[in-house]
Structure 1
Amino acid sequence: MIRIEQVSKTFGQGKNSVVALAPLDQFIGEGEFIAIVGPSGCGKSTLLRIVAGLETATEGRITLGTSQLKRPVGFVFQDAVLLPWKTVAGNIRFPLDTSGVPRKVGDRKVEELVELVGLQGFENALPKQLSGGMKQRTAIARALADDPAILLMDEPFSAVDLMTREGLNDELLRIWQATGKTILLVTHSVEEAAYLGTKVMVMSARPGRLRKTYDVALPSPRTEETKTSADYLDLVGELKHMMRDADR
């Protein structure tokens, strides 16, 4: 699905240059859920932005299948970044309107997405009337509006409280299973990474290098009982150990 080949990123030039991301290789299969962890400033978000086309790699390339990555990519940021004057439905419809999707087709799509993210009854609410979790659900629905092949998520739940975050984790797993999307999630929480991912990529301190990719063999569906299983706790412990080493 995604082939990352020797992708690196350097900001600036000469003495003022900063290597944010060292050459990195990774293959991501269709429908996988990839969680990316690593120290602050190690290039996790930069990698996502390169995949999204928001940044240009200094070297290397990213391909989708056998062609250059051109199919729509959905992006969910740390802040929901909703248009404050538009309703939930209006925010979700926004990318459809800008793409010229007919109104009736867009209305049906918005209705499907509202149901998918569990926001029925809030279609006409403005962002200021929503909780943090509801704002992020709206942002996820908006990112899915163009039916992207890939959903990129840059610490989308870091600003909400723990209980809301855990609930959103379960919602995200449900959405992933319902849509079959390929998801790349950046997070600072190894617990979240282990719970959500089919694979976990561990990055080193800057310049960011891929230290190791873990295959997560936890059974699905994942539930609260998953978090008390020996396999989950062992994986969390191993990820924490790798993260401590990554800071050195």
Structure 2
Amino acid sequence: MTSNKAAAAGEPEWVPPADIARRAVDGGFIRSMNVERLYYLARTDPDWPVPEGEWREAGTVKLIPWDDRLRAYFERRREPEWLTMTAIAERVVEAGYATTMSRPRVSVIARTDPNWPVPEEEWRGVGRAKLIPWDDRLQRFWSTREAGDGPKGWSRPLRAPVAPKAEVETVPDAAVAEAFGLPVDLVPDLKPRRGKSWRRDDVDKILRARPAWLGDEAEARAEIARRVRTRARRRRVDRDTDG
């Protein structure tokens, strides 16, 4: 039955998991989704609205009803765009909310303007940078805020517009833990680059590779212990070489 005929008959639209993942991204609900993560959510998230008992099969393909329950589920999980204060300053000027804006001025406004809508408790830290959700609250704040002259040095005119630098998309540890099915305190020690933030492409590579420790806390702890031993062995070799 086609989707139009199904809708006319009051039937939901039956789609495979890959299409559900694509619609979640295309609909702006979430930045990244693949079949593995979708199955993980469907089987572990208590808020997942469509139990596997309601799924259908078409040969070897699973079909899930794309209905109001599933759309509402992804709407609740809609991710805001996380921006640094520098990126917010650029966005404010690009959108025409102000003629000039700078990172220091955004910082002062965020901490002193009583109408600032996003409390610091909702910010995220990535290294030394602070990330603030660019959502409806913040857009409304800038679009309705009256421009005023701040102290000298708060802002400076922008030079000719330049193409924004490609930024590496990072993922907070809590989101990585959810995708991997592991406690959040373990994921920092599983990063490919110690001391660095999780990068989106690294998370996707691990989900595709499906190492033995993915979703298995005991295996994850064993993997962390193995890495600790390997680093200690390398340090001993380096000391012996230097000596």
TM-score (norm 1): 0.28
Greater RCO, CA 8 A, separation 6+: 1
Q: Which TM-score applies when normalising by structure 2?
A: 0.29
More strand as a share of residues: 1
Judging by fraction of residues, say which structure has more helix. 2
